[in-house]
Amino acid sequence: MKLVSTVIGYPYIGENREWKRCVESFWKGGITEAEFLSDMKKIRLDHLKRQASFGVDLLTVGDFTFYDRMLDQAAMFGLVPTRYKWTGGTVDLTTYYAMARGAKDVVACEMTKWFNTNYHYIVPEYEDSSMKVTKNYLLDYFNEAKEEVGLITKPTIIGPYTFVQLSKGYDDTSKASFYLKLLPLYVQVLQQLVDAGANWIQVEEPALVFSMSEDEIKLVKFIYTQLAEEVPAAKIMLQTYFEGLSAFEELSRLPVSGLGLDFVHGRKGNMASLHKYGFPQDKVLGIGVVNGRDIWRTNLAEQALDAKAVLSLSGVKEAWIQSSCSLQHVPVTTTSENELDPVLRNALSFADEKIVELTQLKSYICDVDWDGNKSVSQSMLANQAIALHEARKNKRVKELVSQVKTEHFTRPLAFKERQVLQKEVLHLPYYPTTTIGSFPQSDEVKRTRRAWRNHEITDAAYDEFVQKEMARWISIQEAIGLDVLVHGEFERTDMVEYFGEKLSGFAFTEKAWVVSYGSRCVKPPIIYGDVEWTVPMTVKEVVEAQKWTSKHVKGMLTGPVTILNWSFVRNDISRKEVANQIALALREEIKALEEAGISIIQVDEPALREGLPLRKEHWNEYLEWSVQAFKLATSSVKNETQIHTHMCYCEFNDFIEPIRALDADVLSIETSRSHGELIQSLKRNPYELGIGLGVYDIHSPRVPSVEEIENILNDSLQVIPKEQFWVNPDCGLKTRKEEETIASLKNMVKAAKKLRQEQQQSV
């Protein structure tokens, strides 16, 4: 039997975020387009050389991007919406980045979560126009690797079924037209790669792990039968991940040369399918046994046993040992993390280390002579050491969790009764205006924080700076005319990291960055021990800000499920138990805010939906404990205290019941790129609690006009009563420039005030 170690995908960000710096320098005009393209090529090739140095057998190209891979393919196929006034030919970088980020006179394409990860992709828009291959960038990358590094690589492309499933702009009738136009383009791309010498082509079809109807199964069969007939020489590795393959009996027999399966997140389903249906003997099996979505060191002995079980069940003649999915969801390397607890550091494995683990697993499975090689025993000892760590034995936390009762999940009064009390206490106008929480983190803010972290300035000097910045922005908000203010979060780097730094059980890295969207990178905290509240985390800043205004200043917290989903989480206890530990800690913080006189407290849950299992039949268990975690954190407040929450890129229509179940007094939801769709959703599913639909896109540098916001407000009033209606941007303003932020908020407040006047005149 032949075994090959391979990589599904590699982080394009770079160990020191070289990619991010290059992209942002180009956006700011710091480098020319020629310099940008040259720098990007160097980063790409350096990544290939780096992976090759670890001894992996088959490397991948096409996992690199200038912004997002779904956007790359939309541009490659000429799928450019008419509003960008593209005139044909290769899609230029100006048009490409306008689709990603918007421009002065045009809104960006919609952005949403990539399956149940924290990565956001650009949603392609189909307008029933003609399509063509504008530039086969995969061919360029393949030739580049062959000519400059001497490697025959495996090009990767997002498959047609997944590409269409994740696109928008078509209905049941035009969907067929979309496929008929798209398939010849895939044929052209595949044929060019075959002609260039590609031995294997990876076609990623993660959408095949969703539950599928008979018609969808027939469609997938048609797609791959067509590709096989048109490009018979193409050896396709059909790659799935994040769950078990749906309709295994039929889809495992598609006319492709290989099938990649996730034996980490989809282990139960895929193993059951192998037991029941076996595996086609004419195919190569991709065995995803190294977890591509977490940062814990692989127990090589356990995973080797799993891989051997898969090999025995399948009986294949050739298999690939690979990660469960692309490694873009983990940081690049642990080599820079020298400040961590040694036991914890030794238990970690990022992208580079996972590639080494793949090569070690391959050798171990092949029964290579391991005399003197301690990799397997070392991985076992590292896992045992972290399991016994003192941080995982906090008796007080375990006692608090055991004491949780049913009444801890419910507020004393229903929303309508609370609403009356809150109106009397808060004295807010109709259509109250507010922001989501953060304000621009200027270069000065970042420099000062960096100087403080590097001990170049004192704690007192840093506190004084933060207070001045808060005071300045309270004054700006007063001048703009906002009704409910925020302190601006200038003391915070990241909405999860900030809280993790103040709770026990968390660890933080120096360079463990991952991409969230575009060039926005985050360093997820590591939850490695029991989580406990020890001191107030936010009270000082919010109370200080409240002194400078007679208007209400919101307390700003990140919710328990978002902290969970945006962290790398310990794998020795259930996620439910970790969520409850975090919720109890936040419950203490909310109590402290309330005792300090804060009457509006926002507990953001932008990541609530992304934690959903990919198949709906598995949703209920997750939703039950995740909603309960939010309610455990928030239900102890007085009825007069108003609880807000915020969500990002949420498919509202199929998620309204869990949102309603949160019982938050006010929901703000990120909808500016898909506002019309949400309006239709609210027509079908009215929402009875307070709600603010994001009236402009904060991910774009453009300033919306008053008229543009007015139109959105008037559309929203068709489905939201004025008693429930809030006006806000669609997300935090941390990444925006000060001038555009102030201009946008002024227009937002003008539109809201105009609406109030019109309502008063009509009475």
∠ CA 255-258-264, rounded to 5°: 130
Residue 450: how many CB atoms within 10 A of its CB? 12
Tokens coding 362: 């391959």
Which residues, including other chains, have CB under 8 Å from residue 698's CB and lie 6 or more apart? 672, 729, 730, 731, 732, 733, 735, 736, 744
Structure tokens at 13: 């960000």
CA 385, 387, 392, 398 dihedral sign is negative
The span from the CA of 95 to the CA of 701, in Å, is 15
| Closest by Cα among 218, 217, 254 to 236 | 254
Cα separation, 324 vs 305, in Å, equals 16
Q: Does the active-site annotation cover 275? A: no
CB proximity list for 21: less than 8 A, separation 6 or greater: none
Q: 60: which strand partners?
A: 154
Task: Using CA atoms of 731, 165, 160, 177 in order, give the dihedral in degrees to the nearest 10.
Answer: -120
Q: Tokens 């309204």 appear where? A: 656
SS (H, E, C) 613-682: CCCHHHHHHHHHHHHHHHHHHHCCCCCCCEEEEEECCCCHHHCHHHHHHCCCCEEEECCHHHHHHHHHHH
Residue of 342, 365, 353 whose CA lies nearest to 298 = 353
What are φ and ψ of residue 532, in 5° steps?
Answer: -140, 140
Residue 566 CA to residue 569 CA, distance in Å, equals: 9
With H, G, I as helix, E, B as strand and everything else as coil, classify residue 526: strand
Give, in degrees to the nearest 5, the angle at Cα 60 between 208 and 294: 65
Are the CB atoms for 514 and 329 separated by under 8 Å? yes
Contact 20, 43 (CB under 8 A): no
- Other Cβ atoms within 10 Å of 613 Cβ, number: 16
Identify the H or E element spanning 484: none
For 690, the 3-state DSSP assignment is strand
Tokens of 712: 């959105």
Catalytic residue, candidates 487, 552, 675, 699: 699
The residue count for the chain: 763
- Dihedral sign computed on CA atoms, order 230, 232, 234, 240: positive
Pairing of strands 514-517, 520-522: antiparallel
Distance, in Å, from the CA atom of 25 to the CA atom of 482, rounded to the nearest integer, reads 34
Residue 527 backbone dihedrals phi, psi, to 5 degrees: -90, 105
DSSP 3-state of 303: helix
Torsion-angle region of 242 (φ positive above 0: left; ψ -120 to 50: alpha; else: beta)? left
Answer whether 694's CB lies under 8 Å from 726's CB. no
Nearest 5°: phi and psi at 189? -65, -45
Q: Rounded to whole angstroms, how far apart are CA atoms 645 and 689?
A: 12
Read off the tokens for 116.
């149940």
H or E stretch including 155? strand 154-158
Catalytic annotation, residues: 699
